[in-house]
Structures are given as structure tokens and as C-alpha cells.
A and B are shown apart, each in its own frame.
Chain A
Amino acid sequence: MGGWFPENISSFGAAIDDVFFLIYYIVGFWFVLTTAVILYLGVRYRRRAGHPAAYVRGDRWRELSWILIPAAIILVLDLAIDAAGARVWESVKIHLPPGDVHLIVTGKQFEWLVTYPGADGTLETADDFVANNELHVPVGRDIRVTLRSQDVVHSFFLPNVRLKQDALPGRSIDVWFNVNKPGEYELACAELCGFGHYTMRAKLIAHSPDEYAQWVRDHEPHRTAEAPSA
């Protein structure tokens, strides 16, 4: 089962996968048990001559407890699942760290425009530059991304980071992540945004911090003169 997940390269990816597996084992147990009961009852109580049905209405507590007690157990397990998930949700979506690197990612039909702060490290200054469909980040640093859209609702989906957030026009929405393995991965759009929705693919390229700094230097405005438009 775990093998079907995309490779996890994210500092919070394992936490999300852990909640998934917690749910998987709990519901898996209940599913197997309940299905076994259904199949067993279907076989055990199939119609046979000389075996009339029992007149059981299930309106007494003694009888109802057979379904209410399992339901109560399920309620408790559900709340435990919620508690586990709440902690992870908070750390991913509510308590955003300030970020070592701050980028703006703008979705538009049908590409991702990534705005880098340039060598001065500050966004919305003259040395900002935009790369189309290439999200370069340093490994081991908190990356803070401000998501925007120029037109319709897109969704910023990094499968290997276990991160997804819709990008809305008229809004700026911040997310964060921290990549712990260098390499080339993918960014996909996860919200139907038009006929080219399936082409909204970008690369996520994680460099070592030194390589990243070099890459930024190589791509500054005096080489490629694109100023950002928000």
C-alpha cells in the first residue's frame, strides 16, 4: 500500500502519511470484520427447510446494544483520528513558519509563473525575476510560497511534498514546505481550470543550498529581464 504513494521528500510528508495509515488500519479492520459478518450471516441464515426466522425487532436495549456499542467504539476511534489529524493540519496549514525563502507562485491558464526575489532576497524589488514552470528551492530550508491566480481557480499540488492548496484570483494564500532530498519532482494543477488543465505541469527542482544560490545568481534580471506582475 505504501509503495503506491509518490516518494515523500517533505518534512511533514511522513506525518500526513501516518494519519493516512492510522485511518487505513482502523477502517480496514472494521471493513474486514463487517464484511465477514455480512457474508457469514448470509451463509449461516440462508433459507433451509425447518429453520424459520427469529422474530427479533431490535427495540430492546439488550438487542440494540449489539449495534450501539460498536457505533460508540467507532465514535471514539473517529475522534482519535480527528485528534491525530488536527495536530498535523495545524503544523501544515495554520502555524506557518516565516520561511527562509519566499516565493510567489501565480497560476494562469495554463502555466505556473514563479517569482523569485533575486539576490537581495526580498520580493517585490527590482531584482525579482520570473521563471515559467520551474520551481527551484533549496533543500532543508523552509520555503514560503504566496499563491495567486491571474484568472480562474487553480490548485498548487506537489505530490512528493504532500502539499495542496487552491490558488484563487483576487487572493494571496500562503503555504510552506521543506524539502529534505535534492532532485527533480513535479508540480501539477489539481483544480479544473480549462481545456489546458492537463498541461499545467511544472518542475520542482530541489538544490543543495549552495547550488541554489548559484542558480539564483545565474538567473538574475541582468541575464533575463522579466519583471514580475502580480
Chain B
Amino acid sequence: MSQVAVVTHHAHEETSFWRKYVFSVDHKVIGRQYLTLGLCMALLGGATVYVIRWQLAWPETPIPLTSWVPEPAMYDGQLDPSFYNQLVTMHGTIMVFFVAMPILLGGLGNFLLPLMIGADDMALPRLNMMSFWTFFTASAVLLSSFFVSGGPAAAGWTGYPPLSANPEYTGVHGGMNLWILALALEFASFLMGGVNFLTTAINMRAPGLSFFRLPLMVWMQLTAGVLFLLSVGPIIGGAVMLLLDRTIGSGFFLPERGGDPLLWQHLFWFFGHPEVYVVLLPGVGAVLEILPVFARKPIFGYRTIVYSTIIAGVLSFVVWAHHMFVAGIDPRLAMPFSITTILISVPFAIMTFAMIATLWGGSIEFRTPMLFTFGFLITFLIGGVTGIFNGSAAVDIFIHGTYFVVAHFHYTLFPTVFFAGFAGIYYWYPKMFGRMMNEALGKLHFWLTFVAFNLVFLPMFVLGIGGHMRRIYNPLQYDFLKPLAPVNQFITMAAVALLLSQIPFILNFIGSLWFGEKAADNPWRANTLEWSTSSPPPHGNFATVPTVYRGPYEYSRPGAAQDFLPQTQPLPTGAAAAGA
């Protein structure tokens, strides 16, 4: 059968600096823009951690290095209780919406999706560009809320009314409205992105790339996209309602105007729970790509993983009230939601076991991406099993609103963003920037982060069991919390270590741009399509559109000349295509 060369049509006219580097429609540029902005916001999110943790450890002393922060936020280093609440709020908001999503979806997703499916770009490149600049605007709006009178939002990242709906309860006026606006813009940005991802993956796959030959990262990005598209609607409605309550005197959530505070919680968590899977799945996707490459064998149970992901995605829509067991819902609703919550642990257990089974019989090389992958597996495991405590309504009576919950969700969110996400950054950095990151610094970064992270969050379960409430400016007000003060101090010191542990990464990320070893097309000897083109890929990604002959995980296949078989490597001439 004669081969077919597929050509792309590109008008390579000269573009201005602005069109090429700033308002680029090239998904690779946009992906790097999202990644960079997400990492910068992570620095800010980390800065809030420093102040919050220091306050918790030594509540009645000034916080070092903060005397430059003006009143009324801080009084020569002494933290104002209202500003503490504002920092806590902004920490959550920034980390979930302005770090996790841009790094995992905007960054890795945007950069990889067209490459992994053999496309020259996204289906809607200008929409892609608009989505990034909408996100940029959202970030600017959020940051501006620090500088308005009254300061930024102070009702937690969950923004429960009436605290959030009536400015008199917090003293925050414009800042809270800006928070709502920033979130609305962020939702719009990722709506645009989600629409683009799904359209691209359905319409622009290279010849031979059927759905079950897609890399699992693509499946994860798509599932995340569907979850986001279908879950964000109610909270957009809720955000509109909250803004109206704050501005035109409506009464959606305020009882004195006939409203119901619980309505917000339902709307928020109906979105909020699928949202945590929107953030989780791309991280899992990165791990699923890295495992086969560094173990040199196929991912275990490809279809099982796909089906588990879909089941988990569907279930994620019917668990939301496990955030509301003691919120004032009818207690009889607790049991159905406990059951659905406990059920959702099953597909995730299957996925985790499949990832572990991939290691069996492998030939494992512990390069930095693989180290971070192991770090993900172990820490996410803790996150997953501690979810069982929270999902049991009876236990939740005690641990709701305590540091047990905080520890649990940090053991799920941090692994996906900072273990899996970093794994992905180390792994795809050569493809994104054309250089290799420094391996020694990478290993140092891993070990410091892994140890420090566990020293921060493992003791936090102890705080939770002790009944330590969340969002508390001064725990020493309570006799029953005084014995836990040494634990808080230990956690704070570990948190400072965790923050400092990121320095090797910052140096490595920036330094390698200029001093890193130039990257070959396929430094990891991997199969997926992005590795069949140059590092970084040219404009248009591929010289000719690739044709796909097999699935993505043909490593160490018996009879093959090498221990990897790229998806685009043609079948041996004359041989019948054996297996997918």
C-alpha cells in the first residue's frame, strides 16, 4: 500500500512582536504563558502560607520580614485578624483557581494536546489566545483586590453567605466584588479552553489516531474539560446571585430578605466537587505518561483506566453534599451522599493500583520525573485514604471544619499540582523550551519537597484529631488547643522549609532556559507524538501530518528493534498490522 504524505497549509507571513510573543495564537506559546503565570501566582500563594503559618505558630508575636506591610493589614509586623482571614481566603483562591488550573490545564494541557494528537494547533487558536488574556485579566483583577479600601475578600475561598453577601459582616466592600469578578473571568477563560480542548480532540486527531490510541493524558484533559463545562454553570449562577445580593439589594442568600444561605453551599459544592477532579485528573495524566517511559513497559490496564476515569467523573456530580453533612441539610440526606462518596473511592483505587502495577516487571530509572511520580503515588495514597474519614458522616461530625480536612485536601491537591505537575514540568520542559533541566538540582528539589511536605501535613492530622478548627487567627484562645501549640510550631518550621525547598526549582527552571543542555527531539525515548518532532516543535508542530500506527505505550514489545515503538513509526513493510 503506497504511503500518503499529508501536507499542512500555512501562511507564514511576518508577524509583529506583539502578535508573535504576546498575543500569539500558537498553542505552544499560550501554554508557556499559562505555565509561567501559574508558577508566578504560586509564589504569591506561597507567600501567604508563610504569614498564615507563622501566625498560627506564634500568635502573639510579630511576623518577621513583614514590617513593610502597611496598616490596617499589619501593625509593624503584628497581623490584623481580618487580614489573616483575607490571606487564608486568597491562599485557597489563588492555589485552586490561579495555580492548579493554569499549570495543569492551561499550561500542560494547552501545550500537549495538539502535539499529542498530531495537530498543527488547537481547533480555535484565536479563542485560545483570548482564553489566556482573559485569565491574565482575571489574575490582575484578583491582585488588585489587595489594594482597594477594605482589602481583599475575607470569607474563605468558599465564600459562604451571609458573611460574603453583606459587606458589613466583614468590612470588605470592593475587594469581595473584585473577587467575584476575578472568579467569573477565570471561569470564562477555562470555559473557552474547555470548549477548545474538546473540539480539538474530537476533530483534529491525526490519521490512525482512534480514541483508544490516545495518550491517557489526553483522556484526562478531556474528562477534566467535560467535568468543568458541566459543573461550572451552577456556580456562575451563584456568583451572579452573590454579586446581586451585594449590590442591588436582592435576597438570594440573606434570610432577612427571604433568602437561604444554604442555596449558595449547594451551588458552590455542586461545582466544587467536580472541580477538584478537574484539577486532579491532568496531574494523574502526567503520571500516566511518565510511568511507562521510565519503567519501559506499557501502562497497565489502559482501557480499565479510561473506564474508571469516566465512572469517577460521572460519580463526581453526585457527592457534593459530603461537604455539607453538618451544614443544616436534612440529616436523612447524609447517608445517600456517604454512599456515593465511598463509591467514588473505588475507581480511584483501580487507577492507583493500575499505576502501581505498571511498575511490576519494569526497568525503572529514577530520573527526576520518575521521582516526583513516586512522590505523587505515596502522598496521593494518603490523600485518598483520609478521604474515607471525611466521607463517613458520623466521623465528619467531629472532623468537619478542622485541620483534618485541611490535611486531607492538601494530601490530594498538593500531590496533583506539585508532585504530578512538577513531574510533568521536568518531563516536558525539554519539549517546551528546547533544553534539559539540571538533573542534580531536580533530585535535590524532589527530596527536599517530599520530606518537607510530609513534615508539614502529616502532623496536621494530629491537629485535626485534637479538634483544631480551621481559619483560626489565634488557637491559644482555647485551652483544649494549647497542648497542640508545639505541633503548630513544628508544622510552621516545616512549611518554611517547604517554601525554601522550591529555590532549587526556581533556579533550575530559569537557569536551564539559557544554560541547560540542548534537548534532542526525544531525550526520554518515548512513544507519543510530541516526541516525534523537534524540541521545541516548529510553527505548525509537524513538517508533515503524522500517521499513527499503534497505541502510545508499546515499550519493550517482544520482537521490536528497540525498547520503544513510537506511535508514528511505520509498520514493517509487507507485514500485516498485528495488534494495536
Contact = CB atoms under 8 A, between A and B. Distances in A.
Interface residues of A, number: 88
B397 A82 contact: no
A70 B350 CA distance: 8
B470 A192 contact: yes
A152 to B, nearest CB: 4
A93 B334 contact: yes
B374 interface: yes
Interface string B384-398: 011011001111011
Nearest to A154: B163
A55 B297 contact: yes
A38 B287 CA distance: 14
A87 to B, nearest CB: 8
B381 A162 contact: no
A165 B473 contact: no
Interface in B290-311: 295-304
Contacts of B572: none
A23 B392 contact: yes
Contacts of B478: 186, 188, 201
A4 B382 contact: no
Contacts, number: 292
Contacts of A24: 389
A165 B326 contact: yes
B462 A192 contact: no
Contacts of B349: 70-71, 74
Contact of B398 (A79, A164, A168): A164
A66 B471 CA distance: 43
A226 interface: no
Contacts of A19: 392, 394-395
A74 B398 contact: no
Contacts of B388: 23, 26-27, 78, 81
Interface string A62-81: 01101110110011001101
Interface stretch (A40-48, A99-107, A117-125, A206-214): A40-48
Interface stretch (B7-15, B358-366, B425-433, B535-543): B358-366
Given A35-B378, A51-B363, A109-B169, 9 more contacts: A26-B388, A34-B381, A41-B359, A57-B553, A58-B304, A75-B343, A93-B334, A152-B162, A191-B160
Interface of A: 1, 4-6, 15-16, 19-20, 23-24, 26-28, 30-31, 34-35, 37-38, 41-42, 45-48, 51-59, 63-64, 66-68, 70-71, 74-75, 78-79, 81-82, 84-86, 88-89, 92-94, 109, 151-153, 155, 157, 159-160, 162-166, 168-171, 173, 185-186, 188-199, 201
12 contacts: A16-B397, A53-B295, A57-B298, A58-B304, A89-B394, A109-B169, A169-B255, A169-B261, A190-B470, A195-B154, A197-B473, A198-B475
- Interface pairs A-B: 6 shortest CB-CB: A170-B255, A54-B361, A58-B300, A159-B467, A58-B301, A67-B353
